[in-house]
Structure 1
């Protein structure tokens, strides 16, 4: 092929490459009280089967409510993960990550529903200032409308999942993002710990 024509050939195929690389955008629709998904041409891609469904995001995944709770699915209706239910919906993203539950353990995922931090914790609080407070041996106790976490040992992880404070404290409070310190208690001993 003539090298002078190569740029024109590339430009001719560029729209096709761009189109093929875009994630499939599916829109939720309701039929007889259940939800499914249609493509941009109105063709049903996932038949109605969910109690509630959100449109697919720009990363090509959708959040739907099934008999197993809130899930994240791909365009082939494959379940990618089970999200933590927060405020009657899938968990909110905080600093690019949200929580998922796997075998009653908590981990974190990104906007593509890729698991970023494995589910190794009995509970994990949302990421704030680059860190999450996590606990093992703790449990969620409901007061009817709300729940609170009781018992167990607490520590902190960063956004990569690295443990920055060992999970061995009875309580971690007073996180100060300016000084990057936390107050931790073990028994009757209080300690100030610096975050990395």
Structure 2
């Protein structure tokens, strides 16, 4: 059994080819999550690339390279079924982004501590065009980005603001607004 797994891994490594991005999606800043089949699943190689700068790629089940080595700086996801979280090092910004199984950018992921926002009450914070929204555990956007500041969901609601500023000290930031309100998981105002 171990020999079969090792052989499969070696075959996958040596049969990697690069998949070009489709012309339809070139130039699009953000892609969307689409229905995927089990054949769309991507696997990170090597599987133990956990540090910034460690080279990795994503391959599909056929062994084709979908996301080539060196494209991203760090991977937070070893297997991508609907989305994965990586650090995009292009432009020197080291953006924390979500990608779909085709390697296309879906949105930026809200930084918290030293990595992506935590799943809280089934949702995590995302960013598009500088505004904060929420996605679910499958990566699907459930509340479109529209808030300047937003806290994680707790007990079915989240504290958000349309006008807000962030104040930063050396290690932390605080969100300040005079017009906080709460939204439910549908994005509707609530008490």
Identify which of structures 1 and 2 has the higher relative contact order when contacts are C-alpha pairs closer than 8 Å and 6+ apart.
Answer: 2
- Render the CA deviation track for 1:24-68: whole Å, top value 9, x for unaligned: 3322235873332123465432102111012234x4321111135
Q: Distance in 2 between matches of 1:161 and 1:119?
A: 10
Partner of 2:56: 35
TM (norm. structure 2) is 0.68
Q: Distance in 1 between matches of 2:118 and 2:88?
A: 18
Q: Distance in 1 between matches of 2:62 and 2:39?
A: 15
| Structure 2 residue corresponding to 1:73, chosen from 99, 122, 128 | 99
Partner of 1:107: 133
Would you say how many aligned residue pairs link Structure 1 and Structure 2?
145
TM (norm. structure 1) is 0.66
Secondary structure of 1:153's partner? coil
Partner of 1:64: 86
Alpha carbons of 1:23 and 1:73: their partners in 2 closer, same or farther (altered >3 Å)? Answer: farther
| Aligned ranges 1:85-104 → 2 under 5 Å | 85-104=111-130
| Structure 2 residue corresponding to 1:46, chosen from 23, 47, 67 | 67
- The structure whose residues are more often strand, as a share, is 1
Q: Which runs of 5+ in 1 are unaligned?
A: 1-19, 166-196
- Render the CA deviation track for 1:130-161: whole Å, top value 9, x for unaligned: 00011122111111111111233100000111
Q: CA RMSD in A?
A: 2.2
Contact 1:136–1:152 under 8 Å retained in 2: no
Corresponding position: 1:164 with 2:186: no
Corresponding position: 1:26 with 2:42: yes
- Render the CA deviation track for 1:6-38: whole Å, top value 9, x for unaligned: xxxxxxxxxxxxxx9426332223587333212
